Amino acid sequence: MDDAAVTGRLARALQDAPAPLQTPALVVDLDVVEANIAAVIARVGAPDRWRPHVKTVKQGKIIDLLLDAGVRSFKCATLAELDLVLARADARALSIDVLLAHPLPAAHVPALRYRARMHHAQCIALLADDPDHLAVLDRDGDDLGVWLDVDVGMHRTGSTPTVWKRWAWSHPRPRKLALVGLHGYEGHLGWNDRDAAFAAYDGLVDLAERIGDVAAIHTSGSHGFEHALAHPALARGPWRHEIGCGTLVLSDVASTAPAAAIGVRPAAFVATRVIARPGTDRITLDAGSKAVSPDRPPPSCRVLGHPGLQAERPSEEHLPVRVETGPAPARDELLWLVPDHVCTTVNLYREAIYVRGDRYVGTGPIEAAGRPGPWYGSGRA
């Protein structure tokens, strides 16, 4: 479907909304979300090979769609995201497996154990950043699983395969934590970095073979999954190999290449209006860095259906746009932005507007957006 058809459908859908649209606003097409979920599952081969990262969607409505599609494993970065997934699974009496894929300070482990006790039908695991971190976590890790975080070249978290091999040779297995598998995120690599990705996967496979009794290997955001699926050894060991891409549930500009490869389309849009026309070749929208892709350099978004409009550096509430070709949109005209990074965009909103094609179907909370209070997750949550 071309951009003009998409903008037409979105505009028609909002004609049925109960009140005039207040911009900027996050609008999600649930039909496209369902199609994207189906496309990812078709590519990875089965729902149980996919562990989508919840940081992309952060809302129960879409977690429900993933559960509807048979997904039972999830990955999250915050306790609020973890609570959201656990609550949706409990409401359906479903058993799921959730990995908190963020190095956890020891002071937070009791909060995770509290959740494991409260949600006894669910499997909850955390990451060990290095052998010392693993030892600290293991002191209070009853009821929890653990994945070894392997640095495959991103140098953000985790330890190299060599460090973990030394640990395997010289240390006993965790006493309280249940060792689940290896987590190797190649987020520094792009769609065309196959050789570097294969080298990283070779290291993971070798480590798994050296350690033994590894139940799973987890790899791949939305830019590396094709490399992982093509690697000859990842899927042939005694372990389960799983993919972690979550961005493709909603898609964005940055994931255009991997999305196009499997038929995924943008499902989340920021509705915005023209609020100023400072010149014949410039307009300003009401969707600044507090509305779309705050972590990205310009252009932080694409103006859907207007290839002649180029987003420039935003301020907090304003998005300057250069008119390179074609007429400048009129004041108050409603435009649609595709975020360059959808995960950080969703995190800015408290509520989403839901459509299905050209039908408005309601709104819903983005329960895990933003940051909760400083005592959230203490065991009283």
Question: Are both 13 and 132 inside the same structural domain?
Answer: no
Residue 226 clears pLDDT 70, i.e. is over it:
yes
pLDDT tens digits, 353-375: 999 999 999 999 999 999 888 87
Tell me the three state secondary structure of residue 331: coil
pLDDT tens digits, 164-178: 999 999 988 898 999
Tell me the three state secondary structure of residue 240: strand
Q: Which pLDDT score is estimated for 105?
A: 87
With 0.85 as the threshold, say if the pTM is over it.
yes
Q: Contact, 184 vs 154, CB < 8 A?
A: no
Question: Are both 149 and 166 inside the same structural domain?
Answer: yes
Residue 104: give its domain's CATH number: 3.20.20.10
Count how many domains the chain has: 2
pLDDT tens digits, 19-72: 899 999 999 999 999 999 999 999 999 999 999 999 999 999 999 999 999 999
* Eight-state DSSP code of residue 150: B
Output phi, psi for 186, to 5 deg: -95, 50
Contacts of 213 (CB under 8 A, 6+ apart): 179
Q: Contact, 237 vs 209, CB < 8 A?
A: yes
Over residues 125-150, mean pLDDT? 92
Give the strand pairing for 301-303 and 359-365.
unpaired
- Domain presence at residue 164: yes
Distance of CA 55 to the CA centre of its chain: 4
Summary mean pLDDT of the chain: 95
- Domain presence at residue 83: yes
Burial of 364 (0-12, 13-18, 19+ CB in 10 A): middle
Q: What percent of the chain has pLDDT over 70?
A: 99
Question: Are both 135 and 221 inside the same structural domain?
Answer: yes
Give residue for tokens 């496309």: 39
Question: Are both 130 and 70 inside the same structural domain?
Answer: yes
Residue 303: give its domain's CATH number: 2.40.37.20
Residue 107 clears pLDDT 80, i.e. is over it:
yes
Question: Are both 289 and 192 inside the same structural domain?
Answer: no
